[in-house]
Amino acid sequence: HADIAMYRAKKLGRNNFQFYTPAMNEESLERVRIESALRNALVRNEFVLHYQPQVDLQTGRIVGMEALIRWKHPELGMVPPTRFIGVAEDTGLIVPIGAWVMRTACAQNKAWQDAGLGHLRVAVNLSARQFSATELLPSIEQVLEDTGLDPSCLELELTESLFMSDVTPAVDLLHRMKSLGVKLSIDDFGTGYSSFSYLSRFPIDVLKIDRSFVNDITIDANDAAIVASIIALAHNLRLSVIAEGVETAEQLDYLRHQGCDEMQGYYFSRPLPAHEFEQLLRQRRGLGAPEDEPQVQVA
């Protein structure tokens, strides 16, 4: 849309720029700028992954991590994923970028496992757009083979929109993914066009409660009820459930009382660069005495 707007504006002449609000123009320009820079970002090695720990609420131990992409552009600076993932999806660039994320995250997790830092899971976000690419399944298989990562240590995060879009994957594609041994989760659960029917039709393992619900659980009775219901729904369907965006001890306490399985959020840790995440694993897991394991403090 950005290029069309620019083209029209050019064609109509300078004076017609007034039809576009400054905000719109700036947004279109930023999109165009991001799109062209994005084309070179992979070859220029401008992406990095940060890792956010996921903690088991029963034991307090780190049991996994979510890989989150970061883009360090020499002129644009640090571009957050919320500003470029959409452009990457629209241009199809998400396919090679997503493949890089998958390979990097799996290789990193395997390296940490080989270093004795634990048999952790790594979760990777998948865009709906990646499902329309025929190479998705073989490329996951290839990455698992090349890195030697135990498939059960890879989790693929899908969003509800996937099940409502025109690229809704055939049930059997997800079953074939499952048969590789990987885990499937639904990210941002509760924010999409929620349809419970896909939960029974698709082989899902984990629900991730969106942080917009978690945010207000201690001040908004409705959000508290929604979160409690999602946890019950997950467990009734024999799924595991993880809360995203946990920032306070009070939120954690509530989630624990409701029997939520895992949490992820700033309260425990922000997403960290690989070397810092590794330090966290080394410090906390150290020589392996149970008291040295990372514990989430609860009042």
Three-class SS state of 212: helix
**Binding positions for Mg ion, 70-99, rule CB under 5 A:** none
31-39, 127-135, 241-249, 253-261 -> range binding Mg ion (CB under 5 A): 241-249
Name which of 95, 85, 105 is nearest 34 in CA terms.
Answer: 85
Q: Is residue 264 at the binding interface for Mg ion, with CB under 5 A as the rule?
A: no
Figure out which of the listed residues 18, 21, 45, 82 binds ligand C2E, where binding follows CB under 6 A: 82
Q: Which parts of the chain are beta strand (E)?
A: 47-56, 62-73, 77-79, 121-125, 154-159, 183-189, 206-209, 240-243, 262-263, 272-273
Name residue 190's amino acid.
G
For the beta carbon of residue 26, count every other beta carbon within 10 angstroms: 11
Q: How far from chain centre, in Å, is Cα 167?
A: 19
**Binding positions for ligand C2E, 215-234, rule CB under 6 A:** none
5-13, 182-190, 231-239, 273-281 -> range binding Mg ion (CB under 5 A): 182-190
**Binding positions for ligand C2E, 231-260, rule CB under 6 A:** 244-247
Q: Is residue 81 at the binding interface for ligand C2E, with CB under 6 A as the rule?
A: yes
116: region left, alpha or beta (phi > 0 left; psi from -120 to 50 alpha): left
For the record, the structure tokens of 196 come out as 């419970």
Q: Is residue 265 at the binding interface for ligand C2E, with CB under 6 A as the rule?
A: yes
Figure out which of the listed residues 160, 187, 261, 262 binds Mg ion, where binding follows CB under 5 A: 187
Q: Is residue 101 at the binding interface for ligand C2E, with CB under 6 A as the rule?
A: yes
Q: Is residue 125 at the binding interface for ligand C2E, with CB under 6 A as the rule?
A: yes
CB of 212 to Mg ion, least distance (A): 9
74-82, 219-227, 252-260, 287-295 -> range binding ligand C2E (CB under 6 A): 74-82
Closer CB to ligand C2E, residue 28 or residue 130? 130
Distance in angstroms (rounded) separating the CA atoms of residues 165 and 245: 26
